[in-house]
Amino acid sequence: MDCIYLTGIRCYGYIGYLPEERALGQWFEVDLKLWLDLTKVAETDALADTLDYRSVISSVQNLVKTSKFDLLERLAGAITNTIILQYDLVERIQVNVIKPHAPIPDFNGKINIEMTRSKVI
C-alpha cells in the first residue's frame, strides 16, 4: 500500500482541559500518514486521480480552529474520523496530534496522541 505523509500542520485552537486553554488557545501540530493506492496517479499525473493535499490540510486546520474539546484524544479522533469518511481514496490513516507547550508544571516536553484507523468495508 502506498502512503502520503502530511507533516507539520500547525494550527491555533482552543482544546484543553483547563479553562485558560479553552479561553486563550494555543498552538497544535498535526502529522498525517495516509494509506491509499497511488497506482493510477503514478501513470496519469492527474490531480483528479489522487488526494488533494490542500483539501486535507484545510480540513485539519478547520477542525483544530473550531473544535472545543477538553482532550487531545477527542481531537485526534475527530480528525481521524473526518479524513477517513470524507476522502474515499484513504484506506487507512495515522494521526499524530502534538501539543508543544502543555501547561504542566516542570514539564518542557510535548504531548503527542497517535491514532491509527482503517476504513471499515
Closest by Cα among 79, 94, 93, 103 to 11: 79
The secondary element (H helix, E strand) that includes residue 45 is: none
Backbone phi and psi for residue 32, each to the nearest 5 degrees, phi listed first? -125, 140
Q: Which of 40, 65, 99, 110 is catalytic?
A: 99
Contact 47, 100 (CB under 8 A): no
Confirm whether 68 is a catalytic residue. Answer: no
Catalytic residues: 99
